[in-house]
Structure 1
Amino acid sequence: MTTAPPPPAAPPAVATRWTAHVVLLTVLIDAIGFGIVLPVLPGIIMRLGHVTLSEAAWIGGWLALIYAAVQFVTGPIAGNLGDRFGRRTVVLASLGGFAIDYALTGFAPTLGWLFLGRGLAGLFGASFGPAGAALADISRPEERARYYGMMGAAFGIGFVMGPAIGGLLGELGPRAPFHAAAGLAAINFVLALFLFPETLPKDRRRAFEWKRANPLGAILSLGRIPSLLPLASVSLFWFFAHMVYPTTWAFYTMLRFGWSAGMVGASLALSGILMALCQMLIVGRVVKRFGERRTAMIGMGGAACAFILYSLSDESWMVWPILVLSAVQSFVMPSISGLMSRRVPADQQGELSGFNGSLGALASILAPLVFNPALAYFTSPAAPVHFPAAAFVIAAGSALVAMLILMATPRVSQA
């Protein structure tokens, strides 16, 4: 009988803290680089494609689709490559590729180059997964939730800072944020090159297997649990509704209110701040008072109301109070994740995280196929009525469907 090797000794506390700080810094800078280009995407599409803003919204949907589809396919591959060659190798390749990609995109002479850049961004946008795996490598099981929370906070802070910086730089021209993103990615690469240690010892690595890199693997595996299917449907409809923001917000506000890149960046930053405050200060209290199911419904109902109010707004100032209301959408995913975790055995909780990630990736692929064409059509000369908020009406419907499915879902245990 073969005896399993003893688990590797835990790294020294100082080394663990240092590595964790480097990982979190990597995630922070990566998130800033991603968000920094969002406010200027409409402008650079219009310049390179020689198209109207309405036509740019349609093209922006295809760019978002390419990014999401490449990430959906390559994300699991990157994770498995990290298990085979180590986290450091994959993270460095990702950061170096990001720097080159943003530099090329910043100097893109044609729209085709922009499509190539978005595809490469999806390919190299794999540092988040290996970074999370590195935190798991250096932490004890009881510490991982805290580290993952810190990583999520770092990404959230970066995503707030990115659009704000991008909006300010966008006033200098639509290419400026791409150059800044390239510089940030290059700095991140250099920092990781010297400060990011390998966290996966060679004796804990495994051979790369294509069947384990299947992007549908988690969905097919956990999809066999009958009690999980209704909540999976809730998550998919909700993820889809929420994707109306990254796919259409910049185009919508520019078409409806004539906003500049700076205004778009400021609104995205404020939205991120409000949602972060809700998650830190309010979500826990609401769940304690109403339970996970009702808290999720409150979030979905509030989001649906915000979507409808956006569609009715005809003055720019109206957007800002609606942003405050829309912050309740931050109630949804923590509550749904809690409900789903009750229906999955303890030894499949990690797989559940991958399952939710796959659902989110599917929604990211579907959303640009629906929201951006709706926005483009209803702002084109062919539309029977000019209605830039068409995508938000669709999002409201999807959020309400998610809420109705949740209401009809049988309870399990205390769910």
Structure 2
Amino acid sequence: MRSLLLILVIVFVNFAGFSLIIPLLPFYGRELHASPIEVTLLFAAYSFGGIFGEIWWGRNSDRYGRRKILIGTTACTALSYLAFAFVPNLALALVIRVLTGFFSGTVGVCQSYIADVTRPEERARSIGLLGAALNLGFAIGPAIGGLLAAPDQGLAGFRLPILMSAAVAGLAALWSLFVLHESHAPGAARPLPKWGEAARIVGTHGLLARLFAIAFIGIGAFASMEAVFGLWTAHNFGWSTHEVGLTFIAVGLTGFSVQVMAIGRATRRFGEARVIVGGLAVLAASMLFQPLLRDPLAAVVLMSALMGGHSIAFPTAGALISRSIGPDVQGSVNGLLMASNALVASSCRRSSGRSMRGSGPIGPIISARLWSAWAS
């Protein structure tokens, strides 16, 4: 139980540190003389690193065990935040963001750990708790970043909240060292999974392929809105880091509440397929109305609804995926899932910079309902 709690803390730390910087990046980027497109590159760089991190760490956790991977990556994440706090220019900032994403790309490992220690019938609820930890970090991180940053002081005004991320990640690494138990014992005789093994498993399994597609579409839609939200609200409402940070508190708490109180009951009553369909429908509606209802209150409500739809659909799809594969490839397949999500997040965040003043990217969600119906 303590190890499961620590896994949730690791996810919380990773996403609190990641989301802490979300409301800061548009303003931090300007201090580095970045254009709007270059600001979205700062978002995308994290996800780009996560693509390789999720595949690398997930694959190796099947060979060497989950514990060593999680301790080492959490410690390196702390060091990367420390470096980011004192970054002198945009080019180095992009490099450090890639490294931070690489070392933080362990959600697949954490999901595999949970799959190792829970029964199949409890998996949707347990992965929902992982999502709740993610969303709690997503709520608290922007609050710290937005409220503690002092943009009027230049780059130095952003250091305190970023250093807090480094400190929390370092403490999580130490806690992992003393508390975390191994859930997937390493073995010298176990061959390292081939790079293409997870892709072949997914490609030859119809349900897995459809669930991967659903997750790909959903995270792309969410990342598109997340990347432009700070710049979009600054342009339309004159918002600063303070207002964006408060908004992401509401967004994160919505996701946390949905995954703690709703996901277990919903899957038991309606089944996983219908829950996925409903979550994607809410996500699609939120994206449709956001550019049409240009009102500050509507922006907060719709971003919260976007998170709610994402938070109920994505963990349910992840639970179905983990139940459809064997324990020896949990890390590889979950790593591939998170890497594909990071890939689409990186692409959407980069392309979103070009539409900052427009209605926002809604293309990735057009076929979400069709994909979810196919999966059911």
User: What TM bracket, shorter-length normalisation?
Assistant: 0.7 to 0.9
The residue that corresponds to 1:380 in the other structure is: none
The residue that corresponds to 1:152 in the other structure is: 131
CA RMSD of aligned residues (A): 3.4
CA offset digits 1:19-58 (Å, max 9, x no partner): 333333333333322221111011111101x24xxx2x31
Is the aligned partner of 1:20 residue 2:4?
yes
Aligned positions of 1:247-266 closer than 5 A: 247-266=227-246
CA offset digits 1:288-331 (Å, max 9, x no partner): 66665554444333323322322123332332333454334434
The residue that corresponds to 1:188 in the other structure is: 172
Is the aligned partner of 1:364 residue 2:345?
yes
Match for 1:106 among 85, 89, 106? Answer: 85
TM-score by length of 2: 0.82
SS for the counterpart of 1:39 is coil
Q: Closer, same or farther in 2 for the Cα pair 1:349/1:201, shift >3 Å?
A: closer
Structure 1 gaps of 5+ residues are: 1-16, 376-387
The residue that corresponds to 2:161 in the other structure is: 177
Match for 2:100 among 117, 121, 124? Answer: 121
CA distance in 2, matches of 1:75, 1:354: 5
SS for the counterpart of 2:290 is helix
Q: Closer, same or farther in 2 for the Cα pair 1:30/1:258, shift >3 Å?
A: same
CA distance in 2, matches of 1:312, 1:240: 20
The AA in structure 1 aligned to 2:346 is I
Match for 1:313 among 293, 297, 305? Answer: 293
The AA in structure 2 aligned to 1:246 is E
SS for the counterpart of 2:291 is helix
The residue that corresponds to 1:245 in the other structure is: 225
Deviation at 1:257, TM superposition (A): 1.5
Point out which structure has higher relative CO (alpha carbons under 8 A, 6+ apart).
2
SS for the counterpart of 2:201 is helix
TM-score by length of 1: 0.75
Structure 2 gaps of 5+ residues are: 152-156
Is the aligned partner of 1:219 residue 2:199?
yes
> What percentage of aligned pairs have identical amino acids?
24
8 Å contact kept, 2:15–2:138: yes
8 Å contact kept, 2:54–2:106: no
The residue that corresponds to 2:154 in the other structure is: none
Q: Closer, same or farther in 2 for the Cα pair 1:258/1:219, shift >3 Å?
A: farther
Aligned positions of 1:389-404 closer than 5 A: 389-391=358-360, 394-395=361-362, 397-404=363-370
Q: Closer, same or farther in 2 for the Cα pair 1:359/1:143, shift >3 Å?
A: same
CA distance in 1, matches of 2:315, 2:110: 21
8 Å contact kept, 2:11–2:107: yes
The residue that corresponds to 1:14 in the other structure is: none
Is the aligned partner of 1:90 residue 2:69?
yes
Is the aligned partner of 1:34 residue 2:18?
yes
Number of corresponding residues: 368
The AA in structure 1 aligned to 2:173 is F
Worse-matched range after superposition: 309-318 or 321-330:
321-330
8 Å contact kept, 2:132–2:255: no
The AA in structure 2 aligned to 1:156 is N
CA distance in 2, matches of 1:148, 1:288: 15
Deviation at 1:115, TM superposition (A): 0.9
8 Å contact kept, 1:37–1:181: no
Is the aligned partner of 1:302 residue 2:282?
yes
The residue that corresponds to 1:10 in the other structure is: none
CA distance in 1, matches of 2:270, 2:175: 45
SS for the counterpart of 1:38 is coil
8 Å contact kept, 1:163–1:266: yes
